[in-house]
Amino acid sequence: MGIYKYIGEMWKKPKANLGGLYKERLIKWRKEDSVVKIERPTRLDRARSLGYRAKVGIVMYRVRVKRGGRKREQRKKGRRSKTQRRVKIVGMSYQWIAEQRVQRKHANMEVLNSYPVAKDGIYAWFEVIMVDPYKSEIKSDPKLAWLKFRKHTNRVFRGKTSAARKSRGLSKKGMGAEKLRPSRRSNKSRSK
C-alpha cells in the first residue's frame, strides 16, 4: 500500500484515528476567520485525487460554514395559505455553499474542487482548491489549461463543480432522475 492509501484509511474515522490532534485542530479552527488561506492541504490524498499539485497558481483555502438554521423567518403579514409556511432558502449542500463563499472573496480565481475536513455540532469545514487560470504555469499544464477558456468562468455559481453537480442530483441517472435534467428549475421544481 502506498502512503496515500494509508492517509485515506486514517481519514475514514478521523476522531478515532487522529485522537487529540483532531480535537486541537477544531479548537484552533473555531477561533479563525471563516475563510483562511492554508499552505498545504490537510488531507493530501483527497486533495491530490481532486487535482491539487504543489505548483504556482494553485492555492488552498479552508472554509467554515455554519450548520443548520437554513429556513426563512416566519412571515408576519397576511398571506394565502400556500405561501404562508416557511420554506428552505437553499437546495444546496454545505460544500457547495463553501465553494461559493471562497469564489466571492477571490473573483480572479476559479474553484477546481473541494472536500470535507471536519465538522462539529455548529460548524462544518471544507478545503477548497482554487486555481489562477491566468498564470503561465497553469496555461501550460494540459490537465488545467481548460480553465483559461471563458466558458469556465464562475463555474461554481452555475453549478458546474463536482459538489454542485452532486447537490443538483446530476450524479444520478435512470429511474427516479427523470426530472433532474437539464435542471430542477426547468422542470418546475418537480424533482428531489
Does some domain include residue 164? Answer: no
- pTM for the full model? 0.85
- What pLDDT does 87 receive? 62
Domain of residue 80: give its range: 3-154
- What pLDDT does 188 receive? 77
Does some domain include residue 135? Answer: yes
- What pLDDT does 131 receive? 96
**pLDDT tens-digit profile of 55-81?**
999 999 999 999 886 666 677 777 777
**Rounded Cα–Cα distance for residues 154 and 130 (Å):** 12
Does some domain include residue 32? Answer: yes
- What pLDDT does 89 receive? 57
Of 35, 56, 39, 155, nearest in space to 105 by CA: 35
Does some domain include residue 179? Answer: no
- What pLDDT does 85 receive? 65
CATH number at residue 41: 3.40.1120.10
Does some domain include residue 163? Answer: no
Does some domain include residue 140? Answer: yes
Residues lower than pLDDT 70 in the chain: 1, 69-73, 84-90, 189-192
Number of domains in the chain: 1
Does some domain include residue 187? Answer: no
